[in-house]
A and B are shown apart, each in its own frame.
Chain A
Amino acid sequence: KQEVTQIPAALSVPEGENLVLNCSFTDSAIYNLQWFRQDPGKGLTSLLLIQSSQREQTSGRLNASLDKSSGRSTLYIAASQPGDSATYLCAVAGSARQLTFGSGTQLTVLP
């Protein structure tokens, strides 16, 4: 059974700092890995999707990497802003047609 872990559970940083969020998974047989953002009381918004054959994806200040062999992914946020404050979730899509989520990292960027 796929298990996804995100560390840390919460992170607080001053504005302007670069930061890294971590995601690890136990089964490397995946189609893709997605990073989502969730604002309080809202749904999930997809930030980046990395195919199983890719090593990284970039969108603006966000960069996500994938290392299937070690079962790890990172989300790098450059020059953080207060508007980046949210919960960030990673999820892996496996052969069982199920998206397995981590429990998220709650990010607070302090002005």
Chain B
Amino acid sequence: NAGVTQTPKFQVLKTGQSMTLQCAQDMNHEYMSWYRQDPGMGLRLIHYSVGAGITDQGEVPNGYNVSRSTTEDFPLRLLSAAPSQTSVYFCASSYSWTASTDTQYFGPGTRLTVL
């Protein structure tokens, strides 16, 4: 198993550009999520999905869109990049949400800089 993969590893954007961060998992996990990590603030949830076709907002959803057309993929779209979106983005997955035994598996992250 490759686990959770993310591409690209690094990205530099100019203000106003759009892009998609890719996330894929090969563990047949139902639950997938996107976090951003900023210095001194821990990780904050952006969006999550409990299965194909089902997504919901997390703590900091503004400026981001998601969709989930397959179990494996959960892309994060930045509609019009802003310097405040400079951060490290992590994708995570788990088998389900309701099982109390579910471990969250994280991808290696995408470091995004918006100029």
* Cβ-neighbour of A51 out of B43, B58, B100 (below 8 A): B100
Chain A residues, Cβ within 8 Å of B112? none
Asked whether any CB of chain A lies closer than 8 Å to the CB of B64, the reply is no
For the complex, give the distance between the alpha carbons of A111 and B64 in Å: 44
Interface majority SS (helix, strand, loop, mixed), chain A: strand
Asked whether any CB of chain B lies closer than 8 Å to the CB of A25, the reply is no
> B-facing mask of A88-111, CB < 8 A → 1, else 0?
010101000111111110000000
Closest residue of chain B to A30 (Cβ to Cβ) is B100
Asked whether any CB of chain A lies closer than 8 Å to the CB of B1, the reply is no
Interface residues of B in 40-55 (CB under 8 A from A): 40-45, 48, 50
Closest residue of chain A to B33 (Cβ to Cβ) is A99
Chain A residues, Cβ within 8 Å of B44? 101
Q: Is the CB of A43 within 8 A of B107?
A: yes
Q: Is the CB of A103 within 8 A of B42?
A: yes
* Cβ-neighbour of B103 out of A42, A49, A98, A101 (below 8 A): A49
Across the A-B interface, how many residue pairs have beta carbons closer than 8 Å?
67
Interface size on A, residues (CB 8 A): 25
Interface residues of B in 78-109 (CB under 8 A from A): 90, 92, 97-98, 100-109
Interface residues of B in 60-80 (CB under 8 A from A): none
Closest residue of chain B to A47 (Cβ to Cβ) is B103
Q: Is the CB of B105 within 8 A of A46?
A: yes
Q: Is the CB of A44 within 8 A of B90?
A: yes
Chain B residues, Cβ within 8 Å of A97? 31, 48, 50, 56, 97
Could you jot down 24 A-B contacts, CB within 8 Å? A32-B102, A34-B104, A36-B106, A42-B109, A43-B106, A46-B104, A49-B102, A51-B101, A52-B100, A89-B42, A91-B104, A93-B97, A93-B100, A97-B48, A97-B50, A97-B56, A97-B97, A98-B45, A98-B48, A99-B35, A101-B43, A101-B44, A102-B42, A103-B42
Measured CB to CB, the residues of A under 8 A from B are: 4, 31-32, 34, 36, 42-46, 49, 51-53, 89, 91, 93, 97-104
